[in-house]
Structures are given as C-alpha cells and as structure tokens.
Structure 1
Amino acid sequence: MGENVQTLPYGSWPSPIDAALAATHDGHPEYVGFVGDEAWWTEPRPAEGGRRTLVRRSADGRQEQVLPAPWNVRSRVIEYGGQPWAGTVVDGRPLVVFVNFADQRLYRYELDGEPQPLTPVSLVGGGLRWVEPQLLPGRGEVWCVLEEFTGDGPTDVRRVLAAVPLDGSAAQDRDAVRELTDDRHRFVTGPRLSPDGRRAAWLAWDHPRMPWDGTELIVADVGDDGTLRQARTVAGGPDESIAQVDWAPDGSLLHASDRTGWWNLYRDGTPLCPREEEFGGPLWKLGQSWFAPLDSGLIAVVHGRGATVLGILDPETGEVVDAAGPWTEFGPTLAVHGERVVAVGASPRTGYEVVELDSRTGRARVIGAEHEDSVDPACYPEPQIRTFTGPAGRDIHAHIYPPHNPRCVSPGDELPPYVVWAHGGPTSRAPLVLDLGIAYFTSRGIGVAEVNYGGSTGHGREYRGRLREQWGVVDVEDCAAVALALADEGTADRDRLAIRGGSAGGWTAAASLAATDVYACGTIIYPVLDLAGWGAGETHDFESQYLETLVGPRAEVPGRYTERSPVEHADRITAPFLLLQGLDDVICPPAQCERFLARMEGRRVPHAYIAFEGEGHGFRRADTMIRVLESELSLYSQVFGLNPHSIPILELTK
C-alpha cells in the first residue's frame, strides 16, 4: 500500500472532483454536420447560462465558436427540440441557418455579419417554432418542421412541413411561409430529399402513440414548383416504429424499423443486416440519426445492444466493420461528406468528443471537444456491466460504479453506501460513459448503480415493452432488486441505500420511496408526481398521452392513475428526501412538486425543496448544477452519517 493512502470511512474521502468541476463538464457536443469540407457541431456553455453555441473546425484544425453570447442554438419543438441548424457554402463562404432559443425564430447567418431573422414572431401560445432546417441547392428556401401554436393551451398546436424563404421575406410575414403538407398528422419529422430532387420522405405519428410505439414512413413526389404531391405511406404503422429515414446515393430508400423486435436497417423494404441489436433508438429529438449513407454506397451506422459503437455497413454483404478506438458509446448524430464520417463518442474514461472516421482506412480520431483530464484519471470510477435477476426471473441490466479513489481505502469491515440512479425517459437508458457527476460520489466513497430497468432501450422491443401499463411498478421493482442484490452479495450497506433520478427517473425515485422500504433517503429531480394532473393538461403536447401506454387508458383505468401517484401516497413516505425543480419547466411543472409538498406538510419527514429560477426541464446552468450536487451529497451525509469535506450543509425541514 502506498505511503499516501489514507484509511477513511466511506463517504469521507477527500476528492479532487468538486461540484464546480463536474458542472463544467455537464452537457456535450451534439448535432454534427458539414459546411463544405468543414465539420461543425453544437456545444454547451454551462458557465454562460447553459446556452448552446455553434463550433466550426477549419481546414487547419482550429476550433472556433461561431456565434457569441447571447445567441443560443436550440429548438423547442416538442419541447425536447432537435437538429437546430444547417449549413452550406455559397460563393466560397459558409451560410448557416439556425434556431435561436430565446425567440425560437429561424435566422440566417454569414460569417462576420449579424444573424438576420427569416421567420416571424407569433404571440399566440408558444408561438412559432422550427426544427430540422435543410438547405436545398438552388431553391432559395430552407425546408423544416414548423410547430405552430393555435391557442394558449399546451396541446393547442399543429405541425407541418414548411419552406421558409432565405431572402428574409417571411421575417415579418407568416403568409410568406410555404406549407408543404397539411396537419393531418400530429407529429412529423423533417423531410429528406432524394438525390434527384423528385421525391421527399419523412416520418409521422399520432396520439396516443409515441415514436417508439408506431410511426409511418411517408413518401411524396416533389413537383417542379416545389410542392409535395401524392403523399403515401410506404412502411410502418401503429405497431412498427421507424426511427429514421434517408435516401442512398442511388435513390433507394433506407430506414430503421423495429418490425422484427429490433431496430434494423432496411433498403427498399429489404433487411440489410438482420441482427438482435439496435440500429436505431427512441426519437426524443427530431433529427436524431443512427445511420448515414456514404457516396461509396456504404452506410455509417451507430449500433449495438446496450452500448453503441460506430461502424461501416456494406449493404451488399451485410457486414459491419466497427471503428477501432476507446469509445464505448456513440450518440444519435452522424454526418458524412465524401468518405468522411463525423460522430460523437465517449467512454468510461472520456467525455463525449467529436470523432471523425475515414471509411476507406477505418482510422478514427478525435477532431473536436477533445476530452482533457482535469484531474488524475485514476480518480475516475471503474464501471462494471452487470445483469441482475429481478421478479419472475427477468433480466435487469445495470452499470455498477463502486467507490473508487486511489488515495483512500475504507476500514476493513465497512460496507459502502450506494445510490441507485434511475434514468429519465423512461423510454431511454443510461449510457456507459464518463460522468463526473457519478465520479463526484464514487471518488468520495459512495457507490452508484445505474439501472436500465425494464422499459429501457437498447435491448429490443420486448424489453422496452415491459413498462407498458407498468410504470411505477416494473421500474420500482427493478431498481429495488438491484439495490437489494448489491446488499445481499456484500457489495453495498443494506442500511445505507438511496435512490435518485430526474424527470421520469424522479417519478421512479418518488414512487420507490412511497412503495418500498429499501431506501434510507432519495433525491427527486424535476419529477412527475401526480399522474392525474400530468395526464390532464399539465404537460406539453408531445408527452400528453404518453401515460396511455405507460399506465393504461385513462378512461378505462382512472383508479390506476391515483393508485400509483406519489402525491396520493405522501403518508407512506418516511425517508428523508431532497426535491429539486426548475421554475420554467413546462414538461414536469412546479405545480406537481407544490401539491406533493402540501401533502407532506405536518408529517415531520425531513426534507428540502430547492426551486431554480430560469431553469427548465434539465438543468443547464453551472451554478445550478453545483448546488444540486452539493445539496445531494449533504443529504446523504446527514442520513448515512458521513463526514464529507467542505460542502454547504443542506437544511432539512420537518
């Protein structure tokens, strides 16, 4: 044992990873694209109010921010947004269009100039919003998805494909926006134009389905005047999820469908690489991409079972050659130019980086947002990929992050506290990547267990379907099963287990405190707490009927909405908790927390409620994230009897 190694109780280990460091590494690059030969992408700025900026990588390898503060490149369509920018080269100079978060207008931008608005402002409801802009050569317009509010309610909204003039003539004139489709479908993705410009393809779906339940693939002819004609559904349906569509250079139609139970890739309806793994994912943001066709006829793919890798698929042989490198996870964003592929990858030792793959040589390298070790990487957690057995013998996938600090060990007979992390979605999953929020705890001697409970993605439609009408049951059971298994095997201290989660994970955390006695405390972050209220107009349009599948048809099983809601079972909660909420959250609004706290009044359960001005769904500001981590650690310290170093004490009220 080294001379500098200290023997200290779990939870009291001094760590170089403080909350400020973790906050600066929150968020990651997304929405990659090419502008001419240059790779561009969006990147977060937590220290600048959490805005997103555009970054370009010039031919000489320099990276520079394209848009200064206060410009914020982020769409609010379906509230989760999506691809917010597009670019091309005109007369040798970059031309970019982007969505600005503050006013949701579409802007035109040429380097060294000022952004010029292309779309008008509407004062009705949530206004006019845009996403997935696409610049079409020679047309003088940008095609995109338009979300238009028709009233003040969150579901008073229509969505269509639209063409916006690039000359600015629609900046003050809504009538100058040319609608390409009617609004017969509640949701649409951006159109993809065939190589000859004569056909367009897009996805559509309708309530109560979510895009991972069932979508339609629609193809239309493009007239000489730029109108869409004879739109027809060519694939998909109520029980088939098509996650993405695009055209190959030869004019064949590519799409990712889960008709076999796994999102696999098809060309003109023929499977290209049938495997029991995913070549697609849940379409939470419009414009996400898991495949991109190359000029050579090969196809860049993000695929895997659980974790994802970047590969090149040969559609003639069905073979996939994966990129060599340290990355264990790639995000759903791809761009191609010639034989170059740009993606965003990460690993348990590195945060998300912009990666370029040469499809001819198979060589991959980091070209942007390169990970830099701010502390000794020996302090990073060392995850274990594990599968646990849950109720009825079902598999539960999880990532276990034991306490880890090279300078500290615990007394021999002590077991560590563990916090179960329930991911959001719930139709999503926890990626296997370096997260300094996790390292903040593990380096102090607190273990973390990320549970990809039944209903999570990455393991096929059957696993994803386990949560159907079982939200608040299967997720709660699976998290508890992992926590108790860790205790039973001697990995975790049975008396020092906690649960935490945000959004749908906040629901699981709260429901777990109400329905089980597994946890000594919990952290509940921008949660759903009241199913009846959330399902009756308190949330946004995209998820307004999500509960019809997660819980059941409300008209048929109204009692279930009451039976499972933590707000209705405040009397069952005896464990201390921390509740964190953004006051600008329109997805899980503060009213849910307020009703829950009113029910807790007088029950003498220690708790704290912190509401953040200017934060929405998903905290983005560095000062917010610092307070969140420090408050969470203080809760565990007080409940578990830990002695962390130099953090503010969270005042718990009763």
Structure 2
Amino acid sequence: MSLQAAPYGKWTSPITAEAITKNVVSLVDVVIDPVTTKVYHIEARPSEAGRNTLVDTNNGVELTPGKDWYVRTMVHEYGGAAAIVYNGIAYFSRLSDGRVYRLKIGGEPEAVTPESSVYRFASFGVHPIQDHLLVAILEDHTVDEPSAVVNTLCIINTNTKTVHPLVSGADFYALPKFSPAGTHIAWQQWSHPDMPWEGGKIYIAEVIATSDGISVTNTTYVAGKSQKVSAAFPSWASNETLVFTSDVSGYINPWKYEIQTGVASALLVQPVEIEFGEPQWSLQMLPYAILDGYALFVTVQQGRSGLQIVDLNGGSAPLALESPFVVINFIRVLSSQNNQVVFSGSKIDEAASITKASVTDFVSASVTYTALKPASDPPFAGNIVSAPQPITLKTNAGDPIHAIYYAPCNPAYSGSSIPGELPPCVLNVHGGPTGLTLQNLNWKTQLDVNYGGSSGYGRDYIERLAGKWGLADVDDCIQASRLISLVDPKRVVIRGGSAGGYTTLCALANTPDVTAFAAGTSSYGVSDLKPLAQHTHKFESRYLEKLIGGTPEEIPEVYKERSPVNHAERIVAPLLILQGEIDKVVPKEQADLIYRIVKERGGTVEYKLYPGEGHGWRKEETIKDALERELRFYEGVLGLN
C-alpha cells in the first residue's frame, strides 16, 4: 500500500476521544494482604462517575457491594491510602460519609468509626498483635477553614467503634507504620510553611498496646529539617531498623535508622544523582519495598522510572534492574522471603498493568516479571504510537530545560505534502508545580516540558522556581517552544491543568511577548493568586509563600503582578477555559473572573464548566467532552478543520 502525504495536522487519524475513554479504568493503588499475600487494587471507573472501588486482582471481582460505595478519602484534599486488607478483612474510607468501614472479604461493609460529617481518615495500619486496633491519619474539619483544620494520628478501635488520639502537634502526618512486633511506630510529619518534600521529618516512638487501645512514649526524632531537608517514606526493615529517604545530598537517596544505636545513616556508599522517590502529593506513595536484606526502590532518572536494588547493610552502590516500564507506581511487598514485589507499571506503548517482579539473584540483578492484571488492550495498533524523545535544552542563561517530544506518527502517511513544513505542536505543562511528566503512554501528549521547578532532577532544580513561579516556568516553556527545532514555533499552543493552567494563563497574559503561543487551554488553572492563598485547602495554603516569595500581606504587589487576571486585557491569543464546578483546590470563581474579563474586552475565549467535577476530571463523559472540545478548539485556531 502506498503511503499518503498531507499537511501536518490534517492526517486522518483513527484516534478518537471515545476510543481512548470508553470503559477505561485507571489504577489508583495496589494493596497486599500481608497475612494471606493476596493482591488487591483500587481502580477508578470514569464510566461510573469516577467511582473508586476495591477489586480482587486475581479474579477481577469488586469487593464493595455496589455503585454507592466510593473507596476514596479527601485527607490533604488529594487523598490516597484509602484502603488496606489484613488477614482477609478490608478497611477502607468511604467518600460519601467519610467513615471507615470493615469488610470481611465476601461480606457486607460495617462502619467502625462514629457517624460524622467533619472527619476524614486515611493511611491505615493494623497493629500486629491487637489487630482490632488501627492507626490512621485523622483530618478534622469541625471548623472548615484552612487555618482551623486539624490533622493528627489516631487509633480506631474496630470492636468498640471509637476513635482515640495518638499523636498531635504537627500540621500534617503521613505513613504511620507499626514495627513487625508492634513495639514501635514510625511516622512522617511536617508543618507550615513546608510541603512534605521541603521539610518532612521522621519520628519513632515506643508503643504500649492493650486490647483497649494504644499509647506512645519516648518519642524520638530521626531525620529531616524544616525548610532544609526532607526525610520521607518510613518503613520497617525489622524491629530494629527503619528505612526512609532523605534529600540532604540534594537528591532523594535511601537511608536507615537503627534503634539500638540511635544513628541514622545513608544506605549508599556515596550519594548518587538519582531520585529514589518523588514529591509526596498523595498518601499512597511509597517508593520502595523491603525484601530479604535488600530494598527494591523505584527511581526517577532522565524522565523515566527505574528499579534499583539497595543493600540494607549499607556501604555499597545501588544496582539497576532491567525493566520494560517507564513509569512504576505503588510498589508493594508480596513476599520478602521470596523477594517478590507487586506494582503498577506502564510502558511507552501500553497502559498500566499490575505486575509481579521476582528478584532471582541480587548479585547479577536478575528479575522476572509476571502480569497479574495485564494492561487493557490498546484501542489502536501499536505502530501509531509515537515514541518519546527526551530532550535537554539550554536556557539563555545556560540552565537546562528538560522536555519530552512525541513526533507525528501515522503508518498511513509518509510525511507532509508541503515541502519543509514543520508540524504544529501542543505543549503540555504539568501541574504541581512541583510535579513531573514521565514517558508512559498518553494519547494527549505531544511536547511535555519539565520546566525548572519540576521534580526528578534534584532539589536544586525544584528550587529554581522558589520566588519565581509565573516567571521561570513560563520562560522555560516559551524558550522550549522556540529552541526545539522539530516543530513550527508559530503554531505551538500551550495547555495545562491546575498549576499548569496557571503557567498557561501567565504565558498568554503576563509576558512581554503575549504572542508567544498561538492559543492556550487552562484546565482548572489559577488566575488570581491572592484569593488562592486565602481560600485554598490546608495542604497547599502556605505553598505560595515559597513559590511567590512571601505572603500577600508581605508582597502584595508581587501577587498582583503575577496574577493573570490582572493582565487579562493583554490576552490576544484564543483561550479555552475548562473548570470543575466543585473544585476546592482552585475554585471556579478563578475561571469565572478571567473569562468575564477576556469576554468583555472582546477577546476570543471559550468556557466550559463541568457540574459535579472537582480538581481534575473523573467522569467518562467529562473526559471525552474535554478532549473533543480541546481538539476542535485547536483545529479552529490553527485552521486545520
């Protein structure tokens, strides 16, 4: 068959929004029963209004009884760690009422916390001796204002169905973990103005456990320093040894703490410029699994995930495993004795699967992979998938900009029919802004820019954005669109969600060159910084102080100058705004205001408000509509329809 030639952007494509959204589920967490070693997972179902449900991975059977059951928590607003399974009993948080439920596998859920409209629970752990007692994060919204929300660690007595305090005093908590014998507990905590990746601290305490409850004594600081060093992700290797991560070297590297000596030490013979973890945006994150004398870490290097073996005795270099996966999430221990883990893994041309990895030899780094839940069949032939091309560009100041490019790819076409034509391009800006775009299959991606401030490249790269949000990120995106020689710089459009939406709006309104991009799409993006600082949820309520350089009271002019809404009259490029009606992270008023200003000025602007959606799309019909609406918008702007 002879190949066709047509202008870029006008190729006939089999890729449709319906094909890539219909009945698609996403993996939210992997859960292992440590007693029975059975594997479960939480999946999000857009076709069921974005519902999360707990599923037996082996047979695909849903454990919750019906569509009214959402296995999800809103602790820290981004949630995560909504369920565990222990000895055939699941414990989970239900979104609709915030209560914790006990579910014997095959039975009916039973509430084990009191009825309350103001409590949220997450990150559960079962005491290994008094197994009717659970530790959890409790987030109390009795006064539902960011400054008044209270986070603590608590104990849930599932027999008496009561909740009791355990640890308090910090602004936030994560990952409470009992030691194997139940004699100690470890946890991570941090306080404003830090985010967990900026100044997280690790503590341990001795545990006094009876059938009636649990208390702690002799609380001991392990590692971490406010605003300077983040210690994170604690987990027990034994009753005496705690494993965690620290970025004291400038990169997230593995560490351990010995109770007998009270000494924390690095597990590597010398620090390496590899990230052994990512910023802790959600509570289910844990970047490693403990095996027999070793830990298997998920690393981030050159924009993709990897697997590295770390000797828990310390003093040696990490050893890389061969892996076909470019993104690995939710790594969990299946059997430490048999050196088996389970994780969610994605490839460049395949959606996420749940995979078992068995390390057969630590010296030669031999590993075998077995799919427990294979990736769903792709809706299109693999030869239409564009392979990611990692690219490092240099700013005018000589700083690196990390990007990933996906070239036009269609086996029916040989290229453009216009000699010398370069393709138009959709430049994607990730959220966070302390986030990262990796190289897994994503039908919406064409050029991803991991601008200064992104994770995955060390703490210094993240801190390039300190005091410069809305400046450095925008400049990196503009320079990337011009420096990459593979696309037409006059036909680059910019898109982003949340913080990426803010960067998009800044690029269209705040820069001297407001024609840098042909158009832009802001999905639930920030347009006005001052009300965001005043009204966003507790977890991020002090985040702006570092990103902007102070509070609205300290530097009001900077907040005004960096807010796109105050420069909306300068937006000349067509703008598409997509917003969730019940978004509590970036409230819809942010979208309403900038839309109204651009519209009244006579600018080209479209606005779609999605009922029942929050910060990000969960419903199948929303995801489909947003994709189709965005595609039509670009085709119109670029004259491709």
> How does the TM-score come out when normalised to structure 2?
0.92
| 2:377 is the alignment partner of 1:377 | no
Distance 1:497 1:298 in 2: 47
More displaced 10-residue stretch of structure 1: 278-287 or 255-264 = 278-287
Distance 2:329 2:175 in 1: 19
More displaced 10-residue stretch of structure 1: 457-466 or 230-239 = 230-239
| 2:173 is the alignment partner of 1:188 | yes
Distance 2:239 2:164 in 1: 29
Q: Per the alignment, do residues 75 and 591 of structure 1 end up closer, same or farther by CA in structure 2, a change over 3 Å counting?
A: same
Distance 1:500 1:560 in 2: 24
**Could you say which residue in structure 2 is the equivalent of 1:646?**
none
**Could you say which residue in structure 2 is the equivalent of 1:303?**
299
**Could you say which residue in structure 2 is the equivalent of 1:589?**
587
Match of 1:217, SS?
strand
**Could you say which residue in structure 1 is the equivalent of 2:125?**
134
Match of 2:386, SS?
coil
- Which amino acid in the other structure matches residue 299 of structure 1? A
CA contact (8 A) 2:298 2:305 kept: yes
**Could you say which residue in structure 2 is the equivalent of 1:445?**
none
More displaced 10-residue stretch of structure 1: 100-109 or 322-331 = 322-331
CA contact (8 A) 1:195 1:251 kept: no
CA contact (8 A) 1:342 1:357 kept: yes
Distance 2:115 2:577 in 1: 36
- Which amino acid in the other structure matches residue 214 of structure 1? G
CA contact (8 A) 1:323 1:357 kept: no
Match of 2:507, SS?
helix
Q: Per the alignment, do residues 369 and 582 of structure 1 end up closer, same or farther by CA in structure 2, a change over 3 Å counting?
A: farther
Task: Tell me by how many angstroms 1:216 deviates.
Answer: 1.4
CA contact (8 A) 1:105 1:119 kept: yes
Task: Tell me by how many angstroms 1:369 deviates.
Answer: 4.4
Among 121, 136, 152, the alignment partner of 2:144 is 152
Q: For residues 488-512 of structure 1, give each alpha carbon's deviation from its aligned partner in whole angstroms, at most 9, with x where no partner exists.
A: x3x2122211000000000001101
- Which amino acid in the other structure matches residue 623 of structure 2? M
Match of 2:410, SS?
coil
Match of 2:68, SS?
coil
CA contact (8 A) 1:161 1:190 kept: no
Unaligned 5+ segments in structure 1 are 171-175, 439-447, 644-654
Structure 2 counterparts to residues 336-347 of structure 1, below 5 A:
336-338=334-336, 339-347=339-347
Structure 2 counterparts to residues 535-546 of structure 1, below 5 A:
535-537=533-535, 539-546=536-543
- Which amino acid in the other structure matches residue 112 of structure 2? L
| 2:390 is the alignment partner of 1:396 | no
**Could you say which residue in structure 2 is the equivalent of 1:530?**
528
CA contact (8 A) 1:50 1:621 kept: yes
Count of residues paired in the alignment: 610
Distance 1:420 1:397 in 2: 13
More displaced 10-residue stretch of structure 1: 626-635 or 188-197 = 188-197
Structure 2 counterparts to residues 46-85 of structure 1, below 5 A:
46-58=46-58, 62-67=59-64, 68-85=66-83
| 2:188 is the alignment partner of 1:203 | yes
Distance 1:211 1:407 in 2: 48
**Could you say which residue in structure 2 is the equivalent of 1:442?**
none
Task: Tell me by how many angstroms 1:580 deviates.
Answer: 0.2
**Could you say which residue in structure 2 is the equivalent of 1:460?**
458
- Which amino acid in the other structure matches residue 193 of structure 2? P
Among 215, 218, 222, the alignment partner of 1:234 is 222
- Which amino acid in the other structure matches residue 475 of structure 1? D
CA contact (8 A) 2:63 2:106 kept: no
Q: For residues 581-633 of structure 1, give each alpha carbon's deviation from its aligned partner in whole angstroms, at most 9, with x where no partner exists.
A: 00010000001111212322321111110000011101011110111111111
Distance 1:28 1:320 in 2: 31
Among 113, 118, 140, the alignment partner of 1:119 is 113
**Could you say which residue in structure 1 is the equivalent of 2:496?**
501
**Could you say which residue in structure 1 is the equivalent of 2:357?**
357
Q: Per the alignment, do residues 195 and 234 of structure 1 end up closer, same or farther by CA in structure 2, a change over 3 Å counting?
A: same
Task: Tell me by how many angstroms 1:55 deviates.
Answer: 1.8
**Could you say which residue in structure 2 is the equivalent of 1:178?**
164
- Which amino acid in the other structure matches residue 492 of structure 1? V
- Which amino acid in the other structure matches residue 424 of structure 1? G
Structure 2 counterparts to residues 440-589 of structure 1, below 5 A:
448-486=446-484, 489=485, 491-514=486-509, 515=511, 516=513, 517-537=515-535, 539-554=536-551, 555-589=553-587
Task: Tell me by how many angstroms 1:394 deviates.
Answer: 0.5
Q: For residues 363-416 of structure 1, give each alpha carbon's deviation from its aligned partner in whole angstroms, at most 9, with x where no partner exists.
A: 112211424222111111221010011131100001001111111232142221
Q: Per the alignment, do residues 270 and 25 of structure 1 end up closer, same or farther by CA in structure 2, a change over 3 Å counting?
A: farther
CA contact (8 A) 1:34 1:337 kept: no
**Could you say which residue in structure 2 is the equivalent of 1:102?**
96
Q: For residues 49-103 of structure 1, give each alpha carbon's deviation from its aligned partner in whole angstroms, at most 9, with x where no partner exists.
A: 1111112234xxx3322224232211100110011111122xxxx2100111222
Distance 2:334 2:189 in 1: 25
- Which amino acid in the other structure matches residue 490 of structure 2? D
**Could you say which residue in structure 1 is the equivalent of 2:348?**
348
Task: Tell me by how many angstroms 1:26 deviates.
Answer: 6.2
**Could you say which residue in structure 2 is the equivalent of 1:255?**
244
**Could you say which residue in structure 2 is the equivalent of 1:441?**
none
**Could you say which residue in structure 1 is the equivalent of 2:332?**
334
CA contact (8 A) 2:201 2:224 kept: yes
Task: Tell me by how many angstroms 1:232 deviates.
Answer: 2.7
Distance 2:479 2:409 in 1: 23
**Could you say which residue in structure 2 is the equivalent of 1:430?**
437
Distance 1:250 1:177 in 2: 26
Distance 1:38 1:113 in 2: 17
Distance 1:467 1:42 in 2: 34
Q: For residues 445-476 of structure 1, give each alpha carbon's deviation from its aligned partner in whole angstroms, at most 9, with x where no partner exists.
A: xxx21000000000000001000010000100
Unaligned 5+ segments in structure 2 are 258-263, 362-366
CA contact (8 A) 1:312 1:359 kept: no
Task: Tell me by how many angstroms 1:45 deviates.
Answer: 0.9
Task: Tell me by how many angstroms 1:25 deviates.
Answer: 7.6
| 2:149 is the alignment partner of 1:164 | no
* Runs of 4+ that moved beyond 4 A: none
Match of 1:625, SS?
helix
Task: Tell me by how many angstroms 1:281 deviates.
Answer: 1.4
Distance 1:417 1:95 in 2: 53
Distance 1:278 1:357 in 2: 21
Distance 1:180 1:65 in 2: 33
Task: Tell me by how many angstroms 1:244 deviates.
Answer: 0.7
Distance 2:229 2:596 in 1: 42
Q: Per the alignment, do residues 492 and 422 of structure 1 end up closer, same or farther by CA in structure 2, a change over 3 Å counting?
A: same
If asked which structure has higher relative contact order (CA below 8 Å, sep 6+), I would say 1
- Which amino acid in the other structure matches residue 381 of structure 1? S
Task: Tell me by how many angstroms 1:307 deviates.
Answer: 1.5
Query: RMSD value over aligned CA atoms?
Result: 1.6
Task: Tell me by how many angstroms 1:40 deviates.
Answer: 1.0
